[in-house]
Amino acid sequence: MLPRVADAEELPKIVISEVYYDSVTAGDPDEFVELYNFGTSDIDIFGYKLLSDKDAGYLIPGGTIISAGQFLVITENYDSFVASFPSATPDLVWEKISLSNSGDYIALVDGSNTDIDAVSWEGVAYDSTIFHHGVVDASLERKFGDISPVDTNNCDNDFIIQPIPTQGKKYEKAIYSNKIIISEIVPTPLNGADNEYIELYNEGSESVDLGGWILDDDDGGSSGYVILKGVSIPPYSYLVFRKGATGIALNDSGDKARLILPDNLIRSEVTYFGSKRGESYSKFSDGWKWSLSLTPDSENIFTAEIAEIEYENPGAEESIKTAREKNNGDIVSVSGAVTVVPGVLSSQYFYIFDGSFGIQVYCYKKDFPNLKTGDVVLVSGEIAEYYNEKRIKIVSASDIVVLSSRDPPQPKVVKIDDIGEELEGQIVTVEGVVESTSGDTFYIHGSGSIRIVIRETTNIKKPKMRKGDKVRVTGMLSQYKDSYRILPLDQDDVILLSSGTLPKAGQEIVSYLVLSIFISQIWISILLKIKKKRKPWRQNLQKIYPAEEVLC
């Protein structure tokens, strides 16, 4: 690997075959580096050096020969090594090996400093090597082909994670169970991000040791989590890994969950596009579905969203979609779940949603039954519009029948440029950057631009924000004249995600103010000195200016 001077054919047939840099022993005194001669003749490596990113390196002493097809093990501490691996004996001791668990490399160079081989990990590269994503309490062991070691300069490709180090032994391709799958993921739990989880299921009849297997999200996301040795999953059983332990953050806007074998092959993966707050994405016999039921460590249960619930709706003549397509003045009868109760946005209306479409229900007299979010209601009334927003106009509370009660519908995560007539009357969540802000109104842009209006009736205190800040907003999508707006419903519906940078104009203003203050201080100092020397001047000045304007 990594020839810089000599051609690959001229290099000795030696590779770094295993590196144990993150051991289970406190302080890692038993860490080791293993070399392997894959040639047909013995190789004298006197004068060779092992280099690392963290120290001056180790000079191989005289008389060190690696026989053809044999290994050579170099450790930090002889006694610690033997205590950890009683059946093995190290060949050399490098007392200052000190390999970093958080990123390092080992390079083997010959007496003329020609690179022979190198391994790097966790963000630290050596020359043209591509570093391995890393291990915990395990070694990196090189893969072997039919004849020679796998050597592509990509350490993720060339090495497997070995929960039980195999010093002095050649890697033999393991056979991994094909019965372990990802069965459930929860990207956006209601009880905090640390409770995001990935659940595995063993479909087989035998227990499977998952040591060295890796959980990860999409490429470029969180660092992969290496499952510790000794962690097994019994037959026909589930095992849950939460973010608080793994560090794997599943993105709300969409991501992947992957189960990767120690040899870097993907065993199971699932992709989702936009998460649903408080719901699980679960595997069923007919595919993956969002479910309102979270079932960690147990069989998945499909609890449909309101869109998929068969309502008890005697007397309902059409869906909300059909009702919205009617002409003003037409009489309709629809059912849906209450998403916003009367009094939150207005004392004269509330909103319902049937899982596909939403609509406002309006009563001039403010005569409504006692409603709560999640109530499934049957509404009969007349189609109308108010500044281009569709509504059902009723006469009194008798036009509303409460059929049942369910969990409130969850907000729909959308992009700003997806906003249109089909989403009107629904609770949506968007993210964007603040364009402008004034009073209880502000505009954000992302894939498009949208106005956010905070109603006084919601008692929401608008967070301090400025142009360039990134925010997440949840609220009712309402139409007003020819544009749409989002009306937040409670304090948690407006979240400041990050602060933007001060615009250039703002920087110039700040610089101007600082300079002005500095100049003012100079003038004050001058006037004070003049005051002490020339009091008559001050008296003349007081004749011209009021006393409170004289700087003294």
| CA dihedral over 318, 319, 323, 325, signed as positive or negative | negative
Q: Return the CATH number at 91.
A: 2.60.40.1260
Please spell the DSSP secondary structure of 523-550, one letter per residue: HHHHHHHHHHH-HHHHHHHHHHS-GGGS
Q: What does DSSP assign to residue 9?
A: G
Residue 172 lies in a domain: no
Residues 6 or more apart whose Cβ sits within 8 Å of residue 212: 138, 160, 161, 162, 163, 226, 227, 229, 262
Burial-class residue 480 by CB neighbours within 10 Å (0-12, 13-18, 19+): middle
Please spell the DSSP secondary structure of 453-520, one letter per residue: E--GGGT--PPP--TT-EEEEEEEEEEETTEEEEE--SGGGEEEEEPPPPPHHHHHHHHHHHHHHHHH
391 SS3 class? strand
Which pLDDT score, from 0 to 100, does residue 173 have? 62
Please spell the DSSP secondary structure of 26-39, one letter per residue: TT-TT-EEEEEE-S
Query: Can you give the residue range of the structural domain that contains 241?
Result: 180-291
Which pLDDT score, from 0 to 100, does residue 275 have? 82
Q: Are residues 29 and 134 in the same domain?
A: yes
Tokens of 339: 């998403």
The residue to which tokens 């203050």 are assigned:
517
Q: Distance between CA atoms of 51 and 105, rounded to whole angstroms? A: 8
Q: Distance between CA atoms of 373 and 461, rounded to whole angstroms? A: 22
Q: Are residues 80 and 106 in the same domain?
A: yes
Which pLDDT score, from 0 to 100, does residue 4 have? 40
Residue 82 lies in a domain: yes
Smallest CA-to-CA distance from 488 within 408, 409, 436, 429 is with 429
Residues 104, 108, 110, 114, Cα dihedral to 10° = -60
Q: Distance between CA atoms of 478 and 460, rounded to whole angstroms? A: 18
Q: What is the pTM of this model?
A: 0.45
Using DSSP bridges, classify how beta strands 427-438 and 441-445 pair: parallel, antiparallel or unpaired: antiparallel
Query: Residue 183, Cβ neighbours under 10 Å: how many?
Result: 24
Residue 98 lies in a domain: yes
Query: Which CB contacts under 8 angstroms, 24+ apart, belong to 498-502?
Result: 498/469, 498/470, 499/466, 499/468, 499/469, 500/433, 500/434, 500/466, 500/467, 500/468, 500/469, 500/470, 501/468, 502/468
Phi, psi of 5 (to 5 degrees): -115, -55
Q: Are residues 458 and 389 in the same domain?
A: no
Query: Which CB contacts under 8 angstroms, 24+ apart, belong to 277-280?
Result: 277/188, 277/190, 277/410, 277/411, 277/429, 278/188, 278/189, 278/190, 278/410, 279/186, 279/188, 279/305, 279/410, 280/184, 280/185, 280/186
- Which of 498, 525, 541 terminates a domain? The answer is 498
Q: How many domains does the chain have?
A: 5
Q: Are residues 130 and 106 in the same domain?
A: yes
Residue 250 lies in a domain: yes
Q: Are residues 125 and 222 in the same domain?
A: no
Q: What does DSSP assign to residue 72?
A: E
Q: Are residues 235 and 265 in the same domain?
A: yes
Let me know: does 411 contact 439? Beta carbons within 8 Å. no
Q: Are residues 390 and 461 in the same domain?
A: no
Residue 536 lies in a domain: yes
Tokens of 245: 């332990």
Please spell the DSSP secondary structure of 122-136, one letter per residue: TT---TTPBPB---S
- Which of 478, 498, 518 terminates a domain? The answer is 498
Which pLDDT score, from 0 to 100, does residue 549 have? 42
Query: Residue 9, Cβ neighbours under 10 Å: how many?
Result: 6
Strand positions, DSSP E, 341-448: 349-353, 358-363, 375-386, 389-394, 400-405, 412-413, 427-438, 441-445
The residue to which tokens 């050096």 are assigned:
49
Query: Residue 515, Cβ neighbours under 10 Å: how many?
Result: 10
Residues 6 or more apart whose Cβ sits within 8 Å of residue 147: none
Phi, psi of 35 (to 5 degrees): -110, 155
Q: Are residues 185 and 141 in the same domain?
A: no
Instruction: Please list the ranges in the chain whose pLDDT falls under 70.
Output: 1-10, 170-174, 221, 303-317, 501-516, 518, 523, 526-552
Q: Distance between CA atoms of 233 and 26, rounded to whole angstroms? A: 27
What confidence tens digit (pLDDT) does each residue in 49-92 have? 999 987 778 999 999 999 999 999 999 899 999 998 888 889 99
Residue 168 lies in a domain: no
Let me know: does 238 contact 199? Beta carbons within 8 Å. yes
Enumerate the β-bridge partners of residue 154. 130
Residues 6 or more apart whose Cβ sits within 8 Å of residue 364: 348, 393
Q: Are residues 144 and 249 in the same domain?
A: no
First CA to last CA distance, the chain: 78
Q: Distance between CA atoms of 210 and 215, rounded to whole angstroms? A: 10
Residues 6 or more apart whose Cβ sits within 8 Å of residue 448: 415, 416, 417, 419
Q: Are residues 380 and 421 in the same domain?
A: no
Per-residue burial over 161-179, b if 16 or more Cβ lie within 10 Å, else e, is bbbebbbbebbeeeebbeb
Q: Return the CATH number at 425.
A: 2.40.50.200
Q: Distance between CA atoms of 165 and 169, rounded to whole angstroms? A: 9
Residue 297 lies in a domain: no
Q: Are residues 287 and 215 in the same domain?
A: yes
Residue 74 lies in a domain: yes
Cα–Cα–Cα angle for 214, 216, 220, rounded to 5 degrees: 130
Q: Are residues 246 and 207 in the same domain?
A: yes
